[in-house]
Structure 1
Amino acid sequence: MTRPLTIRTAAAALDAGTTTASTLADDALSRISDPAGEGARVFIRRNDQRARHLAAASERTRAAGFSRSPLEGVPISVKDLFDIAGETTLAGSVALKGRPVATGNAPVVSRLIAAGAVITGTTNMSEFAFSGIGINPHYGTPKNPYDRATGRVPGGSSSGAAVSVTDGMAVAAIGTDTGGSIRIPSALCGLTGFKPTARRVSAKGVVPLSTSLDSIGPLAASVTCCAIIDAIISASGEGVPEAAPIRGLRLAVPQTVVLDGMDKTVAAAFQRTLSALSAAGAVITEIEIPEFETLSGIYARGGLVAPEAWHWHRALLEEAGDTYDPRVKARILRGRDLSAADYLDALAARAAWTAGVTERVRGYDAVILPTVPIIAPEIAPLVADDTAFFAANGLILRNPTFFNFLDGCGLSVPCHRPDEAPVGLMIAGTAMQDRHILSVGLAIEAVLDAVRGE
């Protein structure tokens, strides 16, 4: 697996005139169309004419001596949850086919276009974003770029988003993250993904899963790429932060739950990472976070996702419930039997839980842990067996979900060797620490790249 093109590399080539926006767009579109590739499973909707028009407009802007942002002329894919004017948003489902087209773009899409990005299309996903695996029975499942001969899951729910980047169908992708749906596919596919504090990026014009937990962010080749896109879609106007000094960086490693069930590849990569960071001068501290043991109980009583998903889906399930992926439908229907009191209990539990975790990580620059405790499992056994599917889904979602429930922010950066299956390191913080976590991520990424020889 080769490292994908970075935004800065693409921008430098465009600035130097060694490529053009149209060339980049045509290359991305040809990769999508390649019958030997994953494009048919990666994209649900594509509009080649729109992409070429956006590329041509970017070239005219550049010819006039302007560049609207580092994304000027850069191909970007968007998860199939976001409204794009003139198209029906399908959310990885067939239940919404035939619905009215969107009358306008989601703000995130508008901000990307205003920044000069070239939208290549909308990407495949777990239906209605309700799985960390990435399997979709309606549109197919994109294969993880690692070990395609075996056929491994890409991770979800932003499955097509990740593979669009690894396979050069976009330089970066926009995904959503309710319980890890940006960080999981990034980890399993060898990318960098950033889940911001949810409130920082507008979710208007985006099909929701859980309005309390949904967040919107990028999947790309580097922390710098993620910082560039985050500044644009959040409308913060901030540039890429400086890397934090690695020497003296205070990093907490939870010992509660998050290291359970690690396979040998992940365990080895994580231990090498801790050793490399310590050797570089970071201060690694093992801590207990007992609240992590209680979250599964909160979710078992219903949590927030099931009632909030049921609220949005209840009418659609009556009309088209027989078309849903049965595994997705079953999880949504759990919300039907929860009362308002159950929901209010979950909100109160979240507030108390968040206060407890926040106090335990106070004084640390970041919390670090394996993004996912296992490498990408094979697709076929999970398609065939509900028990295997739900066991893998729960394990894959476990670590990222802690930081959604915390209303925090988090990066996943690759920490595996080039010849190994992809493994992600999560670098996480509490609410509104986004810029700081990106700064810490830049420092850690530099250490890991040196270890990886990149």
Structure 2
Amino acid sequence: MLDTLYSITITQAAAALRAGELTSAALVRHALEAVRLHDGTLNAMLHVSASALEEAGRCDTEADQGSFRGPLHGIPLVIKDNIDVRGLPTTAASPLFTHADPAEADSVAVARLRAAGAVILGKTNMDELAAHVSGRTSCFGPTVNPWHPERRLCPGGSSSGTATAIAAGYCPGGLGTDTGGSIRLPAGWCGLCGIRPTHGQSDVSGIYPRAVSLDTVGAMARSVRDIDLLLQVLADPPLRDALRASSSIRYLRIGVFPDLVRTKASPEAIAAYTEAVSRWEEFGECIPVSLPLLDDLAVVDSVGIIRSYEFARDIRKDIEGNPFVDKMHPVPLTDYKNGRQTAPEAYHAAMRHKQALSAQVNAFFASLQVDFLLLPVAFSTAPPINAPQEAFTMGRTLVNLFSIAGVPTLVIPGEVTANGMPLGMQLVGPALSERLLLDAGTVYETTYGPFPVPMS
């Protein structure tokens, strides 16, 4: 059973719990043993809940009595450490908060998970203050991609610990946040499913801000069905209502970018994308499209201005006068300083550009009459942890536009590439199209899953 638990999905675990074939305590004991065995190498966990096993026992007692709190009853999940969890500190992997007291209350997202029956296993490592996409800037040390950990490749960030913990088999799912790729890249580089929902459709109360105009809370897991379940728990109306609507997958029209990928991607990424397009042609028509905004430097500039300005505005109270500022990683500190130097006029211009880009992207879907776009999450598989900054700047290229436009993205695993690493594919739709993305992803998963896990 122990080996099986390394690859079990939320959906499988929930069914086994309800059938009396598995206990929550067994899942939590497995998680604690996996952390003990592997986290010295991977460095995914920052805080493990001392009450997780006790909470699992309560879930099992309730299950024995035929009482289930919700669809996540007894399922252990991990939470990124910029998200408040009652009884655990929120450090955001920053020296600014290493002495923080435990949070007095759950964030809205965590409260919703608990109400659905989840057991919170603990808090995960991340890039400091969610200000990078590598997983290497944490004051607690870098997180290592669980695929071939001896190669010390990055897991993607800033939700690095959540992705690594799930991919390594500690538990079947967890929460991350995504401002500029922080769920999408880790999911894609660790062989997971992940969702960045339509901006504003998942409550971020109780989450340390990166850039509120771009911030979202979302989930990572091993299957699209799991993402569907988690998002239904996390979503606000009107997304919650849209997710509950019935849907059927008809003949799909999918926008694809063969020329862009062929021109800019690594050989492994080109091969993975070519295979993905071939597979999706079984479900409809893959239509070559062009979207110059994808690599428009003006988009990059606006994302950077908004991110830095709001970051500096909203965390100033925590930085100014803090005795641990000189211990911050240069990346978030530089971003803070850039934001302090950004003129309000430049920020307001970037926000107007954001509004225009959102309208343009949604109009793009309507004008081409495509259901969603299919792209790799990045032009290459995961780079080394010590790769030059250019590798991570390039890593954001295929997510920047959709961050600022606020449209939803579902990441699903691609095949393991020739270099032995996974590269995820992203399905990007217009605002509030999550139901279609999830249904399409489920059809694909049913046909081609399950995806391998690195420690199986």
Q: By how many angstroms is 1:237 displaced?
A: 7.3
Name the residue aligned to 2:415.
416
Question: What letter corresponds to residue 333 of structure 1 in structure 2?
Answer: K
1:346 to 347, 350, 373: 350
8 Å CA contact 2:155, 2:164 repeated in 1: yes
Task: Kindly indicate whether the alpha-carbon contact (under 8 Å) linking 1:298 and 1:346 is maintained by their aligned counterparts in 2.
Answer: no
SS at match of 2:399: helix
Q: Is the Cα contact below 8 Å between 1:277 and 1:447 reproduced in 2? A: no
Change (3 A) 1:399 1:100: same
Aligned-partner Cα distance in 1 for 2:416–2:151: 20
Partner of 2:188: 187
| Match of residue 441 from structure 1 | 441
Unaligned runs of 5+ in 1: 383-387
- Aligned pairs for 1:48-447 within 5 A: 48=50, 50-234=51-235, 236=240, 244-245=248-249, 248-254=251-257, 260-278=263-281, 280-296=282-298, 299=301, 302-318=304-320, 319=322, 320-362=324-366, 363-379=369-385, 381-382=386-387, 388=388, 390-417=389-416, 420-447=420-447
> Any stretches of 5+ residues in structure 2 without a counterpart?
none
Q: CA shift at 1:440, angstroms?
A: 2.0
TM-score by length of 1: 0.91
> 1:264 deviation in Å?
1.0
1:33 maps onto 2:36 in alignment: yes
TM-aligned CA distance change 1:107 to 1:430, over 3 Å? same
Letter in 1 for 2:376: P
Residue 305 of structure 2 aligns to a residue in which SS? coil
**1:392-421 residue CA offsets vs partner (Å, 9 max, x unmatched):** 111111212221111100111111148731
Q: CA deviation at 1:18?
A: 2.2
Q: Which amino acid aligns with 1:370?
A: P
Task: Quote how far apart the aligned CAs of 1:228 are.
Answer: 0.3
Structure 1 residues 422, 40: closer, same or farther in 2, change over 3 A? closer
Q: Secondary structure, in 3 states, of the residue corresponding to 1:284?
A: strand
SS at match of 2:120: strand
CA–CA separation in structure 1 for the residues paired with 2:94 and 2:114: 25
Question: What is the rounded CA distance, in whole Å, between the counterparts of 1:421 and 1:349 in structure 2?
Answer: 36
Partner Cα separation in structure 1 for residue 219 and residue 40 of structure 2: 20
**Cα pair distance change 1:349/1:258, threshold 3 Å:** farther
Q: CA deviation at 1:38?
A: 4.5
Distance in 1, matches of 2:188 and 2:147, equals: 12
Does the CA-based 8 Å contact 2:163-2:187 persist in structure 1? yes
Aligned to 1:398, the other structure's residue is in SS state: coil
Task: Spell out, residue by residue over 1:72-97, the C-alpha distance to the aligned partner (whole angstroms, 9 max, x if none).
Answer: 11110000011122333101112112
Q: Report the AA paired with residue 404 of structure 1.
A: S
Contact map agreement 1:242 1:439 (CA 8 A) in 2 = no
Question: How far did 1:270 drift?
Answer: 0.4
TM-score calculated relative to the size of structure 2? 0.90
- CA pair 32-298 structure 1, distance change in 2 beyond 3 A: closer
Q: Which one-letter code corresponds to 1:331 in the other structure?
A: D
Q: Percent identity?
A: 28
Measure the CA separation in 1 of the matches of 2:157 and 2:255: 27
Q: Distance in 1 between matches of 2:123 and 2:451?
A: 35
1 CA distance for matches of 2:312 and 2:450? Answer: 47
Instruction: State the SS of the aligned residue for 1:205.
Output: coil
**Residues of 1 paired with 2:151 and 2:450: CA distance?**
30
What SS does the aligned partner of 2:296 have?
A: helix
User: Is the contact between residue 257 and residue 293 of structure 1 (CA under 8 Å) also seen in structure 2?
Assistant: no
Q: Alignment RMSD, CA only?
A: 2.4
Residue 354 of structure 1, CA deviation: 1.9
Counterpart CA distance in 1 for 2:140 and 2:216 is 24
Q: Secondary structure at the match of 2:396?
A: helix
Following TM superposition, by how much is the alpha carbon of 1:445 offset from its aligned partner in structure 2, in angstroms? 2.9
The secondary structure found in structure 1 opposite 2:449 is helix
2-structure distance, mates of 1:339, 1:259:
39
CA shift in 2, pair 1:440/1:100, >3 Å: same
Determine the C-alpha separation between the residues in 2 that align with 1:277 and 1:238: 24
**Distance across 2 between alignment mates of 1:27 and 1:238:** 36
The residue identity in structure 1 corresponding to 2:47 is R
Find the aligned partners of 2:341 and 2:411 in 1 and give their Cα distance.
Answer: 35
Please name the residue that 1:7 is paired with. Answer: 10
Q: Which runs of 4+ in 1 moved over 6 A?
A: 237-243
Q: 2:70 touches 2:117 (CA, 8 Å); kept in 1?
A: yes
Relative to 1, partners in 2 of residues 1:101 and 1:122: Cα closer, same or farther, differing over 3 Å?
A: same
- Contact kept, 8 Å, 2:257 with 2:288, in 1: the verdict is yes
Deviation at 1:204, TM superposition (A): 0.3
Note closer, same or farther for the CA distance 1:243–1:5 as it changes in structure 2 (3 Å cut): farther
Structure 1 distance, partners of 2:17, 2:302, is 51
Cα deviation, 1:317-363, whole Å, max 9, x if unaligned, reads 32232121112211222111111111110011111222222222212
Structure 1 residues 237 and 73, CA gap change in structure 2 (3 angstroms): farther
- Say which SS state the counterpart of residue 266 (structure 1) adopts: helix
Cα separation, 1, equivalents of 2:57 and 2:193: 29
| Matched residues, number | 441
* SS at structure 2 position matched to 1:19: coil
